């Protein structure tokens, strides 16, 4: 090997090492992206406050009337979202289905202190569930977990330890490792176990639970490809129904899916763990709700 070739090889290896180190150092910033500079606004929902086991102060928005026997939907939002932006969706849910929706906020988001991590997301979701058990219902048979994008992984992690009545996932990714591979960094698959601090693995979680799993996904999703939604549904030990919405991207599945989406969601929320029919894949439409 010539000195020039050796120098070039060393340079390439140095750049590669720098990229891997950056991925290791900034991975939480890639996974959790709290929107910055969001102005305050009046939110048409009740805000409740509670604390995680490590003392972190948290809050959630509650939409609807949470009667002792009503269904409570615990809804986890995505990585670049905030809880109050999910309130219009929650209001539509309550209008169509009754019950109530609880939308927890994560630490580091919308004015909350702290830095979000894989470990903190578990603490925050458990704190939200504890609030629901203490103030709304003590029965898992009355609780549905819903998640969008990153929220699907958080919901699946919580369901693995505290099973709900049903697990409803909108635009789920299969695992953090699979999402990292989309960065097209050679060798990342091999190095993932070494550098990763984020261990979301929805495929593994749904494959090990008896909770019915409902999945919806847009077939034009450029952030989380639709094949991941199909993988999650296929991996579920108890798959219920898969809704693929033609023309929908990552954030507009309800709008594009229209009535097909709301019918799918209503069935998912109503599912009391007695679904025994053959798992179905359906296709959404562009009609309104």
Where do the domains of the chain lie? 45-283
Kindly report each contact of residues 151-154 with a partner whose C-beta sits within 8 Å and lies 24 or more positions away, as own/partner.
Answer: 151/75, 151/76, 151/77, 151/78, 152/76, 152/202, 152/232, 153/200, 153/202, 154/76, 154/121, 154/122, 154/125, 154/200
* Residue ranges of the chain with per-residue pLDDT less than 70: 1, 3-27, 29, 182-196, 273-289
Q: Can you give the pLDDT at residue 13?
A: 47
Q: Which two tokens stand for residue 151?
A: 């929220």
DSSP code at position 261: H
* Per-residue pLDDT tens over the stretch 226-242: 999 999 999 999 999 99
Contact call for residues 40 and 83 (beta carbons, < 8 A)? no
φ/ψ region of 47 (left if φ > 0, alpha if ψ in -120 to 50, else beta) reads beta
Q: Which CATH class is domain 45-283?
A: alpha beta
> Of 32, 17, 23, 21, which Cα lies nearest the Cα of 200?
32
CA distance 72 to 196: 34
Q: What is the pTM of this model?
A: 0.87
Beta strands in the chain (DSSP E): 46-51, 57-64, 72-76, 100-104, 143-148, 166-170, 213-218, 239-245, 280-283
Backbone phi and psi for residue 37, each to the nearest 5 degrees, phi listed first:
65, 30
Query: DSSP assignment of 74-143, as one string?
Result: EEE--TT--GGGGHHHHHHHHHHH-SEEEEEPPTTSTT--S---HHHHHHHHHHHHHHHHHHT-S-GGGE
Strands 57-64 and 46-51, sheet pairing:
antiparallel
Q: Per DSSP, what are the bridge partners of residue 73?
A: 101, 144
CA distance 188 to 182: 10
Q: Can you give the pLDDT at residue 88?
A: 97
What's the length of the chain? 289
Q: Can you give the pLDDT at residue 197?
A: 72
Q: Per DSSP, what are the bridge partners of residue 24?
A: none
Residue that is written with structure tokens 């009667």 in the block? 67
203-204-206-209 Cα dihedral, nearest 10 degrees: 170
Q: Can you give the pLDDT at residue 23?
A: 56
* Per-residue pLDDT tens over the stretch 10-51: 554 455 455 555 555 556 767 899 999 899 999 999 999 999
Contact call for residues 228 and 201 (beta carbons, < 8 A)? no
Tell me if residue 265 falls in helix, strand or coil.
helix
């Amino acid at each position: 090997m010539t000195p020039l070739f050796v120098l070039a090889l060393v340079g390439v290896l140095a750049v590669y090492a720098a990229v891997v180190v950056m991925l290791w150092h900034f991975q939480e910033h890639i996974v959790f992206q709290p929107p910055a500079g969001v102005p305050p606004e009046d939110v048409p929902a009740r805000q409740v406050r509670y604390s995680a086991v490590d003392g972190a102060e948290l809050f959630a928005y509650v939409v609807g009337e949470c009667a002792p026997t009503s269904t409570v939907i615990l809804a986890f939002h995505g990585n670049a979202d905030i809880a109050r932006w999910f309130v219009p969706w929650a209001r539509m849910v309550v209008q169509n289905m009754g019950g109530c929706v609880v939308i927890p906020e994560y630490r580091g988001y919308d004015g909350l202190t702290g830095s979000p991590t894989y470990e903190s997301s578990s603490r925050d979701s458990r704190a939200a569930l504890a609030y629901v058990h203490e103030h709304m219902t003590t029965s898992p048979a009355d609780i549905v977990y819903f998640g969008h994008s990153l929220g699907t992984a958080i919901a699946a992690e919580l369901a693995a330890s505290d099973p709900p009545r049903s697990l409803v996932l909108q635009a789920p990714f299969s695992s953090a490792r699979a999402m990292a591979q989309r960065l097209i960094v050679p060798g990342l698959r091999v190095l993932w176990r070494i550098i990763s601090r984020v261990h979301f693995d929805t495929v593994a979680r749904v494959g090990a639970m008896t909770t019915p799993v409902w999945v919806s996904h847009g077939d034009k999703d450029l952030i989380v490809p639709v094949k991941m939604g199909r993988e999650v549904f296929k991996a579920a030990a108890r798959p219920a129904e898969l809704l693929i919405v033609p023309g929908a991207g990552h954030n507009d599945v309800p709008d594009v899916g229209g009535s097909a989406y709301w019918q799918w969601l209503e069935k998912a929320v109503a599912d009391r763990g007695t679904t025994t029919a053959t798992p179905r894949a359906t296709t959404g439409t562009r009609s309104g709700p």
